[in-house]
């Protein structure tokens, strides 16, 4: 299921902005400030969730847990000390 879910998600993200040029993003360098400025930060959270779930070979998505984790991440990113911190580093500190 994971092998189907992640490519489908990436396809949805790519199709969302069809009129824009293709852009490659190094997710490890996205800062909290950038996350907070995103129109749809939840899309990045879905990608990150898939990334971390894939590391643990977990193929399930618990929506309530995802929503809770997304809220915790945004709250941590709102702290002034984390504005310039990469999102993935903040996630690691929340574990």
Is residue 59's pLDDT more than 60? yes
For the entire predicted model, the pTM comes to 0.70
pLDDT classification of 90: cutoffs 50, 70, 90: very high
Number of domains in the chain: 1
Say if CB 71 and CB 26 are below 8 A apart: no
Is 16 buried (19+), middle (13-18) or exposed (0-12) by CB count in 10 A?
exposed
Dihedral angle over CA of 40, 43, 44, 49, nearest 10: 150
Give me the domain span that covers residue 55: 2-94
């Amino acid at each position: 299921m994971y092998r189907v879910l992640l490519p489908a998600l990436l396809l949805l993200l790519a199709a969302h902005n069809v009129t824009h040029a293709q852009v490659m993003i190094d997710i490890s360098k996205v800062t909290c400030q950038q996350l907070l400025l995103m129109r749809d930060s939840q899309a990045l959270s879905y990608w990150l969730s898939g990334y971390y779930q894939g590391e643990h070979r977990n193929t399930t998505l618990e929506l309530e847990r995802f929503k809770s984790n997304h809220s915790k991440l945004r709250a941590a990113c709102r702290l002034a000390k984390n504005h310039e911190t990469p999102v993935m580093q903040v996630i690691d500190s929340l574990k």
